[in-house]
Structure 1
Amino acid sequence: MVYLLKGKFTNINANWPGSSHDSHIFRTSQVCTYMEQNGGWANGVLLGDSGYPCRPFLMTPYQNPVIDHQKKYNRCHCSTRSVIERTFGRLKRRFHILHSEIRMTPSKACKIIIACAILHNICILLNEPDIEDDGLVIDNDGDLGDRFFGDQDGRGVRDHISSTFFNR
């Protein structure tokens, strides 16, 4: 799980194996706990792909947008969320060990991933050039995963955002 600020990693959790679902990692994170207690779209929101539940503080794309402003919302959501995909690409190009399975103990692999993220941030601070792009393909598929309903559901917030800002 990763959060970015201008291409730098601001929060990273590398304590789960690669087969763990992103939404489970988020659901058990300190960031999720904080957002549940203090979040709300007025304080800012997080963007997730369709594998995450739509929550008041975690906006996901519409599954089947039918209204024009829902389609506009999805386009803006996708282009904004692609920042993280590009940042992962930059990180992997900079540190080749992250291209495939790290064949070390899980605790050592976690340390390597976090060290790479810290070094990536240092490279940005020092204005180090990026490694050449080798035709990276961005996977925006996103597993549908579990859905939340009721009090935790953020679809009303998403509807408000899309109709207010994209219904023009």
Structure 2
Amino acid sequence: MVEDTTTETMIRCGMITNVNAKWPGSAHDAHVFRTSAVGRYLEDNYQGIEQGLLLGDSGYPCRPFLLTPHRQPANRMQERFNRSHCSTRSTVERVFGIWKKRFHVLGSEIRMKPGKACRIITACAVLHNIATLRLEPEVEGEQGEDIQPVIPAYVGRQDGQRIRDHVAINFFS
């Protein structure tokens, strides 16, 4: 018998349940969510908290299905809500951190055509979920901590050979 997997269970075990990678990084998160299939579905069909809730940061509008922290908590109850909200959202942020460590390409700009970048991001989400289901260990540190050396400034004719020589002199001699 196969158990039904709920979103709560997926979050607890680090699964990525929805990816919308078609917007550039400069797009506001709230706009991306509002125009996504999930956002539109919830806007039109949400019936109540029995269906579940989403948590968003203060950049999102507070909606019946999308709870955000109180901007200026007025009492102890609101302060406790904000603390619980923050600790629950940190679980989601932790999953994003694991995902970016596992797939280094997600930690910086993807220099490809937008369509290809979207497919890469989606593929990384699918592969992350497979790794999570297979109980693959999390990647420690910063994925080999791809620390780039600081290259001293180069002043001179800008051609490939001279710049290559500059790098070779500074790092390989």
- TM-score, normalisation: structure 1: 0.75
Aligned to 1:106: 114
Structure 1 Cα separation of the partners of residues 50 and 138 of structure 2: 35
Q: How does 1:59-98 map to 2 (within 5 A)?
A: 59-98=67-106
Structure 2 Cα separation of the partners of residues 12 and 22 of structure 1: 12
SS of equivalent residue, structure 1 residue 103:
coil
- What's the offset of the Cα at 1:44? 1.2
Give a deviation string over 1:115-141, Cα, whole Å, max 9, x none: 00100000001110000134xxxxxxx
Q: Name which one, 1 or 2, has greater alpha-carbon Rg.
A: 2
Structure 1 Cα separation of the partners of residues 140 and 75 of structure 2: 40
Give a deviation string over 1:28-74, Cα, whole Å, max 9, x none: 01111211222232321110000000001110000000200000000
Structure 2 Cα separation of the partners of residues 91 and 104 of structure 1: 20
Structure 1 Cα separation of the partners of residues 99 and 109 of structure 2: 15
- RCO higher in 1 or 2 (8 Å CA, sep ≥ 6)? 1
Structure 1 Cα separation of the partners of residues 135 and 108 of structure 2: 27
SS of equivalent residue, structure 1 residue 8:
coil
Aligned to 2:21: 14
Structure 1 gap segments, 5+ residues each: 135-168
Q: How does 1:7-156 map to 2 (within 5 A)?
A: 7-39=14-46, 40-134=48-142
SS of equivalent residue, structure 2 residue 16:
strand
* Counterpart residue identity of residue 21, structure 2: A
SS of equivalent residue, structure 2 residue 57:
coil
Structure 1 Cα separation of the partners of residues 26 and 44 of structure 2: 28
Structure 2 Cα separation of the partners of residues 132 and 52 of structure 1: 32
Aligned to 2:171: none
Give a deviation string over 1:75-98, Cα, whole Å, max 9, x none: 000000111110111011101111
Percent identical pairs in the alignment equals 59
Structure 1 Cα separation of the partners of residues 126 and 51 of structure 2: 27
* Count, aligned residues: 132
SS of equivalent residue, structure 1 residue 9:
coil
Structure 2 Cα separation of the partners of residues 46 and 133 of structure 1: 29
Structure 2 Cα separation of the partners of residues 99 and 33 of structure 1: 28
Structure 2 Cα separation of the partners of residues 43 and 111 of structure 1: 30
Moved over 4 A (4+): none
